[in-house]
Amino acid sequence: MNYSALLLQSGLDKFDAQVLFSHCTGKNRAWLIGHGQDEVDPAHVSVFNPLAARRRAGEPVAYIIGLREFYGRDFVVNSSVLIPRPDTELLVELALERVADGARVLDLGTGSGCIPITLKLERLDLDVSAVDLSPSALIVAQTNASRLDAAVRFYQSDWYQALGDARFEIIVSNPPYIEKNDHHLSEGDLRFEPRSALSDEGDGLVHLRHIISGACDHLKESGWLLCEHGWDQSAACRALLVEAGFQEVQSWRDLSGIERVTGGRLA
């Protein structure tokens, strides 16, 4: 059997098969393209086939290889954290457009730490803090911060609870916002991600309400709050921000054209 046949017989999407093969053999995709007709090394078959079987059983590629790229950098991931999504890069870009030099930044529900670590590495002048409720997620976030050499402070906290009276120029969050009965929770990659990172076990707005109403006590004057949310939650988020006294309330569309981030500025 040659390498092209090995990947084909895995039954996987071509890109997934190439990524898994590269991960377990150290041979990059260019190597595979050049050696497609070569007879396979049995050692490569024995490391590739078990990974291909995990992928066929539904496990996300990011968990199998333990890495996911976000904003041009590789982040360590495992089943304790949500897999970073390209859509979340919008939240990072909007935050970067709004932060003044040396600003204090807070990320709520940091998961892998992809948001605060990216903000810090893009803007070394920022003073970046991040919280998560999950100790195992914080281990992943801290691992990423040290691997990428990003000076971010992490706290275990139920949203604002451990922050005392600290105030920030900008607060960002990509909280769990999937409604508890949403069928997506039992489909595809989501089946493998931590349920507590995906769903609020309510109507989808439980954590967003808490984050928005609490932000006034943790933002400096004229500070920004930016939240990622579900495809049908932008109007509700705008209403919550207006109710909490925010101005310049608006939503921004993701790569698929869906309103994905909503934010406002404290009056």
The contact set with ligand GLN (CB under 6 A) reads 82, 84, 88, 109-112, 114-115, 174-176, 197
Please check if 217 is assigned to a binding site.
no
For residue 81, the SS3 value is coil
User: Binding site annotation covers 175?
Assistant: yes
Look up tokens 């930044």; give the residue: 105
Please indicate if the annotation marks 132 as binding a ligand: yes
The answer on whether 127 is annotated among ligand-binding residues is no
The tokens of 59 are what? Answer: 């496990």
The first and second tokens of residue 3, run together, are 């390498």
Among all residues, whose Cβ is closest to ligand GLN?
A: 111
Indicate the residue among 60 and 176 with the shorter CB distance to ligand GLN.
Answer: 176
> 207 vs 218, which CB is nearer to ligand GLN?
207
Tell the smallest beta-carbon distance from residue 3 to ligand GLN (Å). Answer: 34
Nearest to 61 by CA among 192, 184, 174: 192
Q: How far is the CB of 151 from ligand GLN (least distance, A)?
A: 18
Q: Is 52 exposed, middle or buried (0-12, 13-18, 19+ CB in 10 A)?
A: buried
Minimum gap (Å) between residue 154 Cβ and ligand GLN: 12
Could you say which DSSP state residue 178 is in?
B
Whether 171 and 223 have beta carbons less than 8 Å apart is answered as yes
* Rounded least distance, CB 175 to ligand GLN, Å: 6
The verdict on whether residue 11 carries a ligand-binding annotation is no
100 class by beta-carbon count within 10 Å (0-12 exposed, 13-18 middle, 19+ buried): exposed
Q: Which residues are annotated as a binding site for S-adenosyl-L-methionine?
A: 109-113, 132, 159, 174
